[in-house]
A and B are shown apart, each in its own frame.
Chain A
């Protein structure tokens, strides 16, 4: 398939860029000890966010859905920051469970608020997500202000940097993301049916409540693993499915694996770009993604508004 090789080519190029980018040139020990773990972390985080975005956009039948906009990332970040302040080890199961709980709680809150507002429209979900995210971000800022002595490293975590990929966290996160991807792939038919809406899916033989719950769990687990590893990084989950859909079409069967590959390539390239653009200064990958992603989001809104007119 030419389209898959195009994606794999982009992924390989992003990896080479990431391994080569940086002020220290091509010193082997720098590549091996610093850039390789960082590249692996970017690949895992990007794949997790790309997968989560594809799942949310499918199961909610909403092309604006993504873990950043729904508040999933903010919930995970808030839980992670609280864990850091409470002294929970970053490799302990408690940390991962807490981050997942934060992600799921925030997502469910956004979803519930949007339903409460009446119809589960595209705009209602985005508004609810913005409200939930804003509140959780304020909590995080409050915690950062209170914990003055540790706030510098936490600040970079919140901004979405991939600096300190501990091998343990990297391994666990990558494993969770791979498992979520496999579980979601096993239900690709249900995700396609949900793209016709809850009632459409029901009449095709799919239980919408069950699939919504399952895909929320998969997407929140993938997001929380990504956040545990790389902090808050937005727009990967929003942009990736839209870009790879142009190659694969909308069916989850090819969209899910393509979103994992595409998200990995996108974030790896963004992280490498953040190291290159203002070298020797580094821009966190989350900031690079926001610079690229926010205009993309505006374009989606503009296109959606034009489509309805």
Chain B
């Protein structure tokens, strides 16, 4: 069963459609990049997939269940979402931030269980930030902070991981590191979908690609076929020989 199945999804903020009749599916082990120009609805799409925004038409199924009909607590166990930026004025420690990923799995009153603590420690280890566990998230660098929120999403133990521009504002080493992490997560059976700002990054481990164009047109398929200058040039409106496109 696919972790995510989208069919006929349609959405608009105004009279112009932003997403029109979008259909694709994502299976465990697949790592999909979502590419497209600014304002084509990449971030909106992720919010539609989690049910945070409601679509005008079409269906989003998470693990076989219709996303719009799922309670938030159940949804957080099926899909984890990493926003492009999460800010808080309060100095939560990195470990407490990761433990917040267990919110949906805990009942009222009680503290975090042993299983919650283990899940948080596993997530810290997997993202390589165990040494930062005691630091305040507001003292971290942008890259460390992004890893902390990826660890929070991993602590949710959902089969689907959605990320909105996880590599923006990061230096090249962090970009490569995060792409490598996401590839490994897909390798151990997660379905991963990441909105990316730069098409060249998709070469670092993506095996599926979703190209969105303004106005709702899209292409979906294997990354090897879509991450090419010929396929990408019309999406971004640049010439096929542009040095910005991956060869």
Contact = CB atoms under 8 A, between A and B. Distances in A.
A binds B: yes
Contact of B89 (A63, A199, A205): A63
A193 to B, nearest CB: 5
Contact of B87 (A193, A197, A205, A250): A197
A119 to B, nearest CB: 13
B93 A249 contact: yes
A136 interface: no
Interface string A237-263: 000000001000111010000000000
Contacts of B111: 253
B98 to A, nearest CB: 11
A205 B73 contact: yes
A62 B103 CA distance: 21
A179 to B, nearest CB: 15
A190 B96 CA distance: 14
A243 to B, nearest CB: 14
Interface in B109-154: 109, 111, 152
B96 A251 contact: yes
Interface residues of A, number: 26
Nearest to A189: B103
B89 A61 contact: yes
A245 B138 CA distance: 15
Contacts of A189: 103, 106, 108
A251 B103 CA distance: 13
B86 A187 contact: no
Nearest to A241: B90
B135 to A, nearest CB: 12
Interface in A154-211: 185-187, 189-190, 192-193, 195-197, 199-200, 202-207
Interface string B59-95: 0000000000001111111001101001111111100
Nearest to B79: A203
B101 interface: yes
A204 B96 contact: no
A205 B109 contact: no
B24 interface: no
Nearest to B81: A203
A245 B100 contact: no
A185 B109 CA distance: 7
Given A205-B104, A206-B103, A195 B52 contact: no
B103 A190 contact: yes
A130 to B, nearest CB: 20
The residue in A189, A200, A203, A253 that gathers the most chain B C-beta atoms within 10 A of its C-beta is A203
B76 A204 contact: yes
B50 interface: yes
Nearest to A208: B72
Contacts of B103: 189-190, 192-193, 204-206
Contact of A196 (B75, B100, B104): B100
B161 to A, nearest CB: 11
A114 B22 CA distance: 36
A185 B111 CA distance: 11
Contacts of A193: 100, 103
B86 A202 contact: no
A204 B101 contact: yes
B86 A205 contact: no
Contact of B92 (A195, A199, A202, A205): A195
A205 B91 contact: no
A308 to B, nearest CB: 11
A195 B96 contact: no
B90 A205 contact: no
Contacts of B76: 203-205
A302 to B, nearest CB: 15
The residue in A186, A189, A193, A253 that gathers the most chain B C-beta atoms within 10 A of its C-beta is A189
B77 A245 contact: no
A88 to B, nearest CB: 36
14 contacts: A62-B89, A185-B109, A189-B103, A192-B100, A193-B103, A195-B88, A195-B90, A197-B87, A199-B52, A203-B83, A204-B76, A204-B104, A205-B76, A205-B104
Ordered nearest first, which 4 A-B pairs have the shortest CB separation? A205-B104, A205-B76, A250-B90, A205-B73
